[in-house]
Amino acid sequence: MLVILSEAKNLQILHCVQDDTDMLANAKRIVIKIGSSLIINEHNLVRESWLASLAADILALKHQCKQVIIVTSGAVALGREVLGYGYGTHKYELELEEKQAAAACGQIRLFSHWKEALRFGTETLYPAQILLTADDSINRRRYLNARNTLNTLLENEHIVPVINENDTVATEELRFGDNDRLAARVAQMAGADLLILFSDIDGLYAADPRINPQAEFKTEIADITPQIEAMAGGAGSAIGSGGMATKIAAAKIALSAGCHMIIARGTGEHPLRTLQDGGRHTRFIAKESPLSARKHWIAGSIHPAGSVTVDDGAAKALKSGKSLLPAGVTAIEGNFDRGDAVLIRDGGGKVLGKGLISYASTDAARIKGRKSQEIEQILGFKRRDVLIHRDDMVLE
Ligand code: GLU
C-alpha cells in the first residue's frame, strides 16, 4: 500500500472540470455501493466488462472533481469457489465460519479485480483497501481513526477507497451482514453528500413488483415514514444479502447524517453514466448538509467529558468562525480522550460552545497557550494545528 501511495504521489495532477448540468453535479463526495449480484455472475465469476464500464464511469466522476468511495460486496461469493463450497445451482446457505473463510479467500480476489479495473492506459486510479467491522462505526476512537484515514486517502485524487465488511473477523452479534448499512455508515463517517446503492432493483415500489407488476414506483422520498418502511419487504436477490429493508435502514442512517441517497439498478453497463443520463431511480432527500447534521449531533447527543477555557482573543476568533488554536487556551479541565466532546468556556466560566477536541486532556494541557508550530516539539507528534476545528464546533 505504501508503495502504491508514494507512486501515486508522484503522478501529475489529475485534470478535472466541474460541470453543473448533470444530476450528480452538486455532490462532492460520493459513496457508491456495489451489490454482489452486480459484480458476480451466476457462475461465480466477476463480470469483467461490466466492472470495466463502472470503473470508466468512476474515472469520469473524478474528472468532474468528485471524490469517490466504493463499498463493494462479492468476497464471500468469490471465496466459495476457492473453498469448494457450492455455488450456482449447487448453492447452499453457508454457516458463519464458512462465510468467514470464504470472505478471507474471496476478498483478495475481489480487490485484485478492482485494482485491474481502475488501471486505464495512461491514467491510473489506485484502490485503497479498507475492511471495516460494525464496531469501527460504533466505537468512537475507531470511528475517528477510520474517518481520518478516509480523509487522508481522499486528499490524493488518484486514490479510490474500496471498502468491504471485514467478514472474516466480524462476529455474528457485531456484524452488518449487508453492505447497504455498511455503506451508509461509511457515508456518515466520510461526511459524504451522496450515497448511491446500486442493486438489481431500480428503486422503491409501494409493493413488491415481482408479485404486483402494477406496484407504484417511488421517485422521491423526503421522510422515512412507517408506511415507507412497510413498503420494504425482505431480501430479494439470489446472491447478495441486502433487500429493500436494509436499504431503508441505510437511508435512515444516511439522511440523519445529511447525506442524500439514491437506489438504482446497476446491472447494465455504465451504471453511473446511465444515472447521470436520467436513468430511473428512487432518491431520498436529506434535509440538511452533512456539516450541519454533524453540528446538530455535536450539539445534541454527546455528553461533554471536560472543558477548555479560552482567552478573550480566542473567544473573539471563535465568534468570527475560526478554529480554536492551542495558543488561545488558558486552562484544561477534566479527563478526556482525543475526539471527545468538551465545553468551551470564556475566562469568566461562561459556556461559549461545545466541540470535539483533537488532543487528549494530558496532551492538551501540555500544548495550551503554545503556538501550533511547537506542538510536535512538545508532544513528539502532531495530529492537527488546531485544538478544536471549526467544523467540529457549535457555539451557543
Ligand atoms: N460483505 C459481503 C461480501 O463481500 C457482502 C454483504 C452483502 O451482500 O451485502 O460478500
Q: DSSP states of 66-111 as a string?
A: -EEEEEE--HHHHHHHHHT---GGG--PPPHHHHHHHHHHHHHHHH
pLDDT (0 to 100) of residue 16: 59
Q: Yes or no: say if 34 and 155 are a contact pair by the CB < 8 Å rule.
A: no
Taking residues 111-132, report their average pLDDT.
Answer: 95
Residue of the nearest CA to atom 8 in ligand 1?
240
Residue of the nearest CA to atom 7 in ligand 1?
178
Residue of the nearest CA to atom 5 in ligand 1?
73
CATH 3.40.1160.10 is right for the domain spanning 3-294: yes
290 CA distance to ligand 1 centroid (A)?
26
Higher pLDDT, 23 or 25: 25
Q: How far, in Å, CA of 41 to CA of 77, rounded?
A: 10
Q: Yes or no: say if 129 and 160 are a contact pair by the CB < 8 Å rule.
A: no
Name residue, grid cell 455535536: 298
pLDDT (0 to 100) of residue 144: 82
What are the start and end residues of each CATH 2.30.130.10 domain in the chain?
A: 302-395
Structure confidence at residue 113 as a pLDDT band (50, 70, 90): very high
pLDDT per residue over 134-148, tens digit each? Answer: 888 877 778 888 988
Q: How far, in Å, CA of 91 to CA of 97, rounded?
A: 16
Residue of the nearest CA to atom 6 in ligand 1?
178
Structure confidence at residue 14 as a pLDDT band (50, 70, 90): low
Pairing state between β 217-218 and 204-205:
antiparallel
CB burial of residue 184 (10 Å; 0-12, 13-18, 19+): buried
Taking residues 59-70, report their average pLDDT.
Answer: 95
Which residues form ligand 1's pocket by a CB distance below 6 Å? 36, 73-77, 164-165, 167, 178-179, 240-242
Structure confidence at residue 296 as a pLDDT band (50, 70, 90): confident
| Atom in ligand 1 nearest the alpha carbon of residue 78 | 10
CATH fold of 302-395, please?
2.30.130
Q: What values do phi and psi take at 17, rounded to 5? A: -125, 125
pLDDT per residue over 202-232, tens digit each? Answer: 999 888 787 888 888 999 999 998 888 887 7
Closest C-alpha to 141, from 381, 395, 357, 307: 357
What are the start and end residues of each CATH 3.40.1160.10 domain in the chain?
A: 3-294
pLDDT (0 to 100) of residue 4: 40
37 CA distance to ligand 1 centroid (A)?
10
- For residue 20, give the C-alpha cell: 453543473
Taking residues 38-45, report their average pLDDT.
Answer: 90
Ligand 1 pocket mutation pick from 33, 178, 199 by most atoms within 8 angstroms of CB: 178
Taking residues 165-180, report their average pLDDT.
Answer: 84
